[in-house]
Amino acid sequence: MNRPASVRHQSNSTNGENQPRKNRASPLPGDDRLTTGRSAIDGTGCFSRVSLPARKKFGEFIGEKISAREARARVARGGRISICDLDRRWSIDASASESPTAFINHACRPNAYTRIAQGRIWFYALRRIEAGEEITLDYRPSQHPERSCGCGLRQCRGLMG
């Protein structure tokens, strides 16, 4: 599986930097609405089991909190990487996570977006997402803008960056 590397979020938030790391043993209560499956875009993707209303939070990017420097080192090592930046100093690495949100693929016209609050990364529906639909995110700006995009949309930019 070739997964795109990283999402760089714009955030001035310093919330959470001094908080103890939270390792969530169990997924969010809402996570049973999400599942993984074979993606037409790339490898395994994240799908919704139910219809999700527009503009509503539906999940969290759950993983290990690491420094941005460590995140860059892990991206450079390659392999299946799923990392989101929290801010300039911290990132969340969900590469080892079994949470469906760790498998959200990039698309040039996504149906979801992220928001950072209290040092956590939350997913929101950009529009109504139908049951069975793959959940996608625009990874821009990505740490691998040169990677080709397989979203297949007419509006596809061809690259992740």
Stretch that binds Zn ion, among 7-15, 49-57, 67-75, 141-149 (CB under 5 A): 141-149
Starting at the edge strand that comes first in sequence, how are the strands of the sheet with 64-67 ordered?
Answer: 6-7, 83-85, 90-93, 64-67
60 or 138: CB nearest Zn ion: 138
**With CB under 5 A, what is the number of residues at the site for Zn ion?**
4
Q: Is 149 in the site for Zn ion (CB under 5 A)?
A: yes
104 or 108: CB nearest Zn ion: 108
- In whole angstroms, the minimum distance from the beta carbon of 156 to Zn ion comes to 3
Among 108, 116, 121, 129, binds Zn ion (CB under 5 A): 108
* Residue 70 dihedral angles phi and psi, to the nearest 5°: -65, -35
Alpha-carbon distance 57 to 126, whole Å? 10
- In whole angstroms, the minimum distance from the beta carbon of 7 to Zn ion comes to 15
Contact 71, 91 (CB under 8 A): yes
Under DSSP, the state recorded for 75 is: H
